[in-house]
């Protein structure tokens, strides 16, 4: 992939929380919050039992939001070509990133709104000191499903502590089984370390580990069968993710996308696959091997088979912005709200109003699609 000019970062339109508090009543933000409150009150009166309603985050399309991805850092020790720029560091300052107490407070609020699944991500979540303690606090709050996505570089040495803290599931990125190619993709020499991390996770209570490969045409799409073999040999859940237009170097084109249907056909031709039922809101279509071999295949097709209709996810970026879609044109400033003294009630109301407006779907396949200025490493996958 070519590397054109530097990415445009940080130009996302951010809805200021200050609007919610301080702008004149004519402000569309304040209006929106008031309208939302009124609508909420009416719904509340209609609903039975009201208490359950209060525990539910619903958008205007009736989708229930139960999953939150929390990016705890925009920093990363890798520089994957489909994610981060080859340019020098362009991280946010430390004080722009949510502190642990701010993250704790938001987690409590989100849980009170009906969030049940939390995935910790980044950047690379294991580069932020204190992540195990944060997981322990989330666990103590009663998060039903607590997981993490990591590049695996620091996993082997941290696996035990993460499990003790309450982590229940792990996704590890691995985009090539060839050390030289892995180095070209991640721009690190960490192949052996990551493989060791996968081994350690696979021998732990986190097994079966999910191993994520982003397929990019011409880069690693010749490895589909090898990855499937890897799943069979190691008993891991091998997940193939379609390349999305969220790379910092802006090299994405449709021709780089390897459709999930092609991946299915190629694996099925060699080792017949049997579909496993999945929850409607799950991103992956899941398959086991018909011959009873261990391991599973997962296909994630946000480009060729969007799953927006059943989306149950929202995202919190490391700098405290709430995003209702990976491809949102707008993010919503929770950090500002917290730092200006909002009460929990204010924050809850604001979150409800933002979720209410969640996009019906992404527009990758529309002729007028424009990628968001925030790229994957700054959103949290």
Residues 6+ apart with CB under 8 A from 89: none
Q: Which residue, 32 or 119, has its beta carbon nearer to ligand SF4?
A: 119
Q: CA torsion sign, 183 to 250 to 260 to 63? A: positive
- Cα separation of 114 and 117, whole Å? 9
Instruction: Supply the minimum distance, in Å, between the C-beta of residue 290 and ligand SF4.
Output: 32
98: partner contacted, choices ligand SF4, ligand SAM, none (Cβ within 5-8 A by kind): none
Q: Which residue, 57 or 379, has its beta carbon nearer to ligand SF4?
A: 379
Single out the segment in contact with ligand SAM by CB under 6 A; choices: 10-18, 76-84, 159-167, 192-200: 76-84
Which string of DSSP letters, residue by residue, matches 180-212? HHHHHHHSSS-HHHHHHHHHHHHTSTTPSPEEE
- Residues 150-179 vs ligand SAM: string with x where CB under 6 A? xx---------------------x------
| 212 sits near ligand SAM (criterion: CB under 6 A) | yes
Single out the segment in contact with ligand SF4 by CB under 6 A; choices: 42-50, 96-104, 116-124, 354-362: 116-124
- Chain positions 121 to 140 lying near ligand SAM, rule: CB under 6 A, are 121-122, 124
| 84 sits near ligand SF4 (criterion: CB under 6 A) | yes
User: H-helix or E-strand containing 355?
Assistant: helix 344-356
- Chain positions 158 to 187 lying near ligand SF4, rule: CB under 6 A, are 173
Instruction: Supply the minimum distance, in Å, between the C-beta of residue 53 and ligand SAM.
Output: 33
- Chain positions 316 to 345 lying near ligand SAM, rule: CB under 6 A, are none
Instruction: Supply the minimum distance, in Å, between the C-beta of residue 344 and ligand SAM.
Output: 29
Instruction: Supply the minimum distance, in Å, between the C-beta of residue 198 and ligand SF4.
Output: 14
User: H-helix or E-strand containing 48?
Assistant: none
Question: 10 Å Cβ neighbour count for 172?
Answer: 23
Q: How far apart are the first and last CA of the chain?
A: 21
- Cα separation of 240 and 238, whole Å? 7
Instruction: Supply the minimum distance, in Å, between the C-beta of residue 72 and ligand SF4.
Output: 12
How many residues bind ligand SF4, per CB under 6 A? 13
| 120 sits near ligand SAM (criterion: CB under 6 A) | no
| 76 sits near ligand SAM (criterion: CB under 6 A) | yes
How many residues bind ligand SAM, per CB under 6 A? 20
243: partner contacted, choices ligand SAM, ligand SF4, none (Cβ within 5-8 A by kind): ligand SAM
Instruction: Supply the minimum distance, in Å, between the C-beta of residue 187 and ligand SAM.
Output: 13
198: partner contacted, choices ligand SAM, ligand SF4, none (Cβ within 5-8 A by kind): none
Instruction: Supply the minimum distance, in Å, between the C-beta of residue 173 and ligand SF4.
Output: 6
| 202 sits near ligand SAM (criterion: CB under 6 A) | no
Instruction: Supply the minimum distance, in Å, between the C-beta of residue 239 and ligand SF4.
Output: 14
| 80 sits near ligand SF4 (criterion: CB under 6 A) | yes
Q: Is there a contact between 186 and 79 (Cβ–Cβ < 8 Å)? A: yes
328: partner contacted, choices ligand SAM, ligand SF4, none (Cβ within 5-8 A by kind): none
Binding site for ligand SAM (CB under 6 A): 76, 82-83, 121-122, 124, 149-151, 173, 212, 214, 241, 243-244, 246-247, 376-377, 381
Residues making contact with ligand SF4 (CB under 6 A): 76, 78-80, 83-84, 122-124, 151, 173, 376-377
């Amino acid at each position: 992939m070519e590397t054109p000019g530097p990415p445009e970062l940080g130009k996302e339109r951010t809805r200021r929380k200050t609007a919610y508090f301080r702008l004149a009543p004519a402000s569309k933000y304040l209006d929106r919050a008031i309208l939302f409150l009124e609508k909420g009150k009416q719904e509340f009166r209609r609903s039975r039992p009201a208490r359950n309603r209060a525990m539910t985050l619903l958008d205007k399309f009736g989708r229930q939001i139960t999953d939150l991805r929390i990016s705890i850092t925009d920093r990363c020790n890798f520089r994957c070509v489909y994610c981060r720029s080859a340019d020098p560091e362009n991280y946010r300052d430390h004080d722009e990133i949510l502190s642990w107490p701010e993250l704790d407070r938001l987690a409590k609020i989100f849980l009170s709104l009906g969030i049940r699944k939390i995935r910790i991500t980044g950047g690379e979540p294991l580069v932020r000191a204190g992540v195990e303690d944060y997981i322990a606090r989330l666990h103590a709050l009663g998060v039903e499903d607590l997981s993490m996505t990591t590049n695996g570089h620091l996993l082997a040495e941290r696996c035990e502590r993460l499990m003790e803290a309450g982590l229940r599931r792990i996704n590890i990125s691995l985009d090539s089984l060839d050390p030289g190619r892995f180095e070209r993709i991640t721009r690190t020499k960490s192949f052996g370390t990551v493989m060791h991390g996968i081994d350690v996770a696979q021998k732990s209570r986190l097994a079966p580990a999910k191993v994520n490969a982003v397929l990019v045409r011409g880069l690693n799409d010749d490895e589909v069968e090898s990855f499937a073999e890897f799943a069979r040999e190691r008993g891991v859940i091998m997940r193939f993710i379609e390349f999305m237009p969220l790379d910092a170097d802006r090299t994405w084109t449709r021709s780089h996308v390897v459709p999930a249907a092609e991946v299915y056909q190629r694996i099925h031709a060699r080792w017949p696959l049997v579909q496993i039922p999945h929850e409607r809101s799950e991103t992956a279509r899941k398959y086991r091997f018909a011959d009873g071999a261990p391991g599973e295949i997962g296909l994630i097709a946000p480009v060729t088979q969007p799953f927006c209709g059943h989306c149950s996810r929202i995202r919190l970026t490391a700098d405290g912005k709430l995003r209702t879609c990976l491809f949102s044109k707008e993010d919503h400033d929770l950090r500002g709200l917290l730092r200006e003294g909002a009460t929990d009630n204010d924050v809850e109301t604001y979150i409800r109003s933002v979720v209410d407006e969640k996009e019906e779907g992404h527009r990758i396949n529309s002729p007028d699609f424009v990628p968001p200025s925030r790229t994957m490493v700054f959103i949290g996958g």
